[in-house]
Amino acid sequence: MARAGLAGAGAIRLAGVCKAGRIPRMSIGSLIRKVLGPRVFQHVGRAYRRIFVDVRKTAQVLAEIIPPGAHVVDIGGGDGEPLNCLLRLRDDITVTMIDISPVVGWMIEESLLGRVERLAGTSIRQYLQLGPRAIQAAVVSDVLHHVPPGQREAFLGDLRDLLAQGGCSLLAVKEFAPHGLRGRLGYLADRYVSGDANVRLIPPAELADLLRAALPGAHIEDTRLSRIDSPNYALRVSLATPGR
């Protein structure tokens, strides 16, 4: 999402720039990153993200629901800036970040790296192929609205297998609802700054339906994130029989 970093995975054609097809397609975010350089971009990116999400509030809510001593899989972990906050709040947890992007977790603070495994270029299916690994919690934060609607069922099917294989009983899904001015701006940022042509924001009720269909028997409840940082919200999914 644009809110997770200006340079998103998607790309749009910049009129007049890529016309000849010799210059690779680049999102506006990627172009800004190139112009500013990584150091300045990091600061600009943080300020930009704050327009849409308070990563500390998300981390507070996640910290409240992740079980003690958990090993957490952060699916679609991105740059890892929100994870820094969570790891600072919860010094008892360890995390594996996976992401289909060729880089993941590049903003994780040095002092926290010892508790983080970073698996770039790794889908849920590929992670499953590494063999059974015990996990106590899974986090999917601002990922699902980037998964094209036609692929969401398969994504959630893989997620169900991951939860079952890992014996995981807690899933947290954080999303950004298409509500109000902030919601509309968030969509435009994802679509035109990150350049993700597939982005489609998901209202909470629709997400709950998707999760109910993918994880029959799961208990789904809203968390307080929607009250403290709307239109951000997070659903807590408890699995009595993990992943089933």
Ligand X SMILES: C[S@@+](CC[C@H](N)C(=O)[O-])C[C@H]1O[C@@H](n2cnc3c(N)ncnc32)[C@H](O)[C@@H]1O
Contacts with ligand X, residue ranges (CB under 6 A): 1, 4, 9, 75-78, 82, 99-101, 123-124, 141-143, 146-147, 155
Closest separation between CB of residue 23 and ligand X, Å? Answer: 23
d(CA 6, CA 174): 19
| Residue of 192, 190, 203 whose CA lies nearest to 231 | 203
Query: Which CB, 71 or 145, lies closer to ligand X?
Result: 145
Give the residue at shortest CB distance from ligand X: 78
Closest separation between CB of residue 233 and ligand X, Å? Answer: 13
d(CA 229, CA 232): 6
Closest separation between CB of residue 155 and ligand X, Å? Answer: 5
| Cβ-based neighbours of 224, under 8 Å, separated by 6 or more | 61
The DSSP element (H or E) to which 211 belongs, if any, is helix 204-214
Closest separation between CB of residue 87 and ligand X, Å? Answer: 14
Query: Which CB, 17 or 103, lies closer to ligand X?
Result: 103
Query: Which CB, 17 or 148, lies closer to ligand X?
Result: 148
Query: Which CB, 21 or 75, lies closer to ligand X?
Result: 75
Which whole-number Å values give the CA distances from 19 to 41, 87, 129, in the listed order? 26, 44, 41
Closest separation between CB of residue 19 and ligand X, Å? Answer: 27
Which residue intervals of 37-169 are DSSP H helices? Answer: 38-52, 55-65, 81-89, 124-128, 149-166
Query: Which CB, 201 or 239, lies closer to ligand X?
Result: 201
